[in-house]
Amino acid sequence: MEPQELWWAQAGPARFVKKIVSGIIERRRVLCVTTPVPRPTALVDALRSKLNVELSLETAIVDLSARDQSGSIAHLVAEDLDVSPVEIGSVADFSRHPRLADTVIIVDGIDKAQLRRWSLFLRQVQAEGAADSIIGPIVIALLPRGLTKEETNELCASARLFSFLGIVDRYDTASYASALGIRPADDLPARVGHAVMLDVAAWSKEVIETIMMWEVSDQIDPMPLLQRAADKSGLPYPCWENGLVDLWDDEPAAHAVAAVKFGLRDHVKRRIWAAQAAVLLPFSHRILRSLIARYHDVLSRVVSPQKPLRKKFNDREYEITDPWKLEFYDFKELTSGHISPGELELVKIANWTRNAVAHRDVVTAAKVNQFSEHYETNRDILDNDVPGWNWPRCGQKMTLTVGPSAAGKSHWSSAQGVEVVSSDEIRKSISIDGEIPGSQAGIFQLVRAGSSRVLCAGRDVIVDAMHLEAEHRIRQANIAPPDVTVRYVIIDRPLADKLRDAGWRGGRGIVEKYDQAFAMQIQNALRGDSIPNVEVLDLRNGPSEPRS
């Protein structure tokens, strides 16, 4: 299908043509159409095709722009259709002429100086058709430019008036671009460039076809190339009647090149900003949301209903009690010492981008590319809202060991013939003696990432860690969607046995400390922390049946 046909196949343009055809189906003999001049490209061809396919009507195009229209309009139109004026004694003869039957006459080039003659002609054609059961000629009058509302009303009288104003909307533009094969790549710069292309082109088919050929960096920030085109352009000051302004998203949008030519740069920049914001704001928030999820255990210790973060903005004071409500600055301050240098740089560029867009600044292509590079570097560690969305559903299970230090969890795990992700082994890979002082948030992040990779491959996994605190169990369990089974396996043995086999833990109070902590935490674990897809297997007194 040719681009012209694709354009008129879009919902808005196609609906406009369909309305005109519907007017003919209603047996109206005269229809008036107001469009910009020059006429929308291939409008007449789209009308001709629709009328022929749906109503089997022939279409004749009459352009009278170079003709003297001071005489009989009926004679003038008939003569242009090779019907001799001597056969047309009146408008009634014109309306009943057999050679004009079943013909739609599209008339363009109406002389504004002869509006009264045209008005009388159109009224009489309309009146002749009112009681006529025979399909005679149907006249579609394309109105000239520069008519007042009173002149339009006088010319059209009781004929239906169809306006092309606001016919093309965002969905038409996006659909047309898609039909041409213009789809953004997966990376952030391509998505921003594609969004800007649509908003800058707006309703203009020609601008879409131009910008689609540009490099992505020029699509992201098109002002230099628009200025170059404006400098060479002979376009007039934009208005609807000359086809250089139309409604788009219920707001006037000027042809981008004409707007730049006549100093309406802020108008174009607003559209660029709106397009960039539509992509960059959600993307920035995704980074923040993901990092909050990643460091939620750190943040929840300093931001909670019991420990609100107090903030002051001008004279207003407020509290933040939910880590999910944090902004970039507070996140960065509260996770200082925990996040990696790469994550810190990602936070900085995401925060800068969010602030720039919030202040209605246009973001340069270089900044968008920088943001994209930091994102791609950290893509593997970023969480999403739909856990396990791309995992195969093949019955894989995740088992969490729950028990105090030296309870025998690792011994049990290694005997199951299932892949094990061990917090102790991860510590040993980082530190020779296996001791990591301070926060263990980074260790648990690696545990979650490792167990997620195993489940993603469709295999069972055992997560070998103490999991004494409900928060740690719940965060680990929540990496699995509710249709994947999670098991808590409760493991413990007498304190004397644990102290006997304590190894490096012995004599440091570690075993005794966690023995007491386990006794205080066990009840919630036995209830599966009230998570529907958690089964509990208590092995403290030998094997037993799992409990949901």
Q: What is the pLDDT of residues 406-435, one digit of tens each?
A: 999 999 999 999 999 999 898 888 776 556
Provide the pLDDT for residue 131: 47
Q: Both 175 and 150 in a single domain? A: no
Q: Do residues 532 and 447 lie in contact, with contact meaning Cβ atoms separated by under 8 Å?
A: no
258 and 289 belong to one structural domain: no
Domain match, 24 and 148 both? yes
Q: With 80 as the cut, is the pLDDT of residue 546 above it?
A: no
What's the CA gap between 63 and 260, in Å, rounded?
A: 34
**Per-residue pLDDT at 27:** 85
Q: Are residues 129 and 223 in the same domain?
A: no
CA distances from 110 to 116, 122, 123, 251, 459 (A): 11, 12, 15, 30, 76
The one-letter amino acid code at 511 reads V
Across-strand partners of 489? 401, 537
Q: Which of 163, 185, 216 is the last residue of a domain?
A: 163
Q: How confident is the model at residue 305 (pLDDT cuts 50, 70, 90)?
A: very high
Whose tokens are 């000629």? That residue is: 137
Q: Is 543 among the domain residues? A: no
Distance CA 74, CA 51 (A): 23
Residue 289: alpha-carbon gap to chain centroid: 18
What type of residue sits at position 229?
A
CB-based contact 486:479 (threshold 8 Å): no
**Among positive and negative, which fits the CA dihedral 368, 369, 372, 377?**
negative
DSSP at 90:
S
- 122 and 186 fall within a common domain: no
Q: Which of 163, 197, 227 is the last residue of a domain?
A: 163
Q: How far apart are CA 56 and CA 52, in angstroms?
A: 4
Output the pLDDT for position 446: 85
Residue 37 CA: distances (Å) to CA of 21, 282, 422: 22, 40, 73
Q: Is residue 546 part of a domain?
A: no
Note whether 217 and 316 are same-domain residues. Answer: no
Do residues 113 and 3 lie in contact, with contact meaning Cβ atoms separated by under 8 Å? Answer: no
Flag whether 206 is in a domain.
yes
Same structural domain for residues 40 and 97? Answer: yes
Which H/E stretch holds residue 46?
A: helix 43-55
Same domain membership, residue 425 and residue 329: no
Kindly give, in sequence order, each residue whose CB lies less than 8 Å from that of residue 171, ignoring residues fewer than 6 positions away.
11, 12
- The domain that contains 97 carries what CATH number? 3.40.50.300
pLDDT tier, 228 (very low <50, low <70, confident <90, very high otherwise): very high
- Under 8 Å between Cβ of 434 and 428: yes
At 433 the pLDDT is: 58
Q: With cut-offs at 50, 70 and 90, classify the pLDDT of residue 541.
A: confident
Beta-bridged to residue 62, according to DSSP, are: 107
Question: Are both 26 and 120 inside the same structural domain?
Answer: yes
Domain count, the chain: 4
Beta bridge partners of 270: none
CB 316 within 8 A of CB 348: no
Mean pLDDT over residues 115-141, rounded? 82
Range of the domain at 304: 284-381
Residue 139 confidence (pLDDT) = 95
| Residue 459 near residue 420, CB atoms below 8 Å | no
Winning range, highest mean pLDDT, from 68-72, 311-315, 339-343, 441-445: 68-72
Interatomic CA distance for residues 300 and 335, integer angstroms: 11
Residue ending a domain, among 163, 194, 210, is: 163
146 shares its domain with 34: yes
Instruction: Give the end-to-end CA distance of the chain in Å, rounded to a whole number.
Output: 59
Residue 279 inside a domain? The answer is no
- Among 471, 427, 419, 461, smallest CA distance to 446 is for 427
Out of 134-143, 429-438, 483-492, 532-541, which region has the weakest mean confidence (pLDDT)? 429-438
392 assigned to some structural domain: no
Does residue 389 lie within any of the structural domains? no
pLDDT mean across residues, the chain: 91
Q: Is the overall model pTM greater than 0.75, yes or no?
A: yes
Provide the angle, in degrees to the nearest 10, between the axes of the packed helices 188-201 and 365-378. 140
pLDDT digits (tens, 9 = 90+) for 173-218: 999 999 999 988 889 999 999 999 999 999 999 999 999 999 999 9
Residue 547 lies in a domain: no
What average pLDDT score do residues 109-136 get?
A: 83
Q: Is residue 58 part of a domain?
A: yes
User: Is 243 in the same domain as 331?
Assistant: no
- Whether residue 116 sits in one domain with residue 12: yes
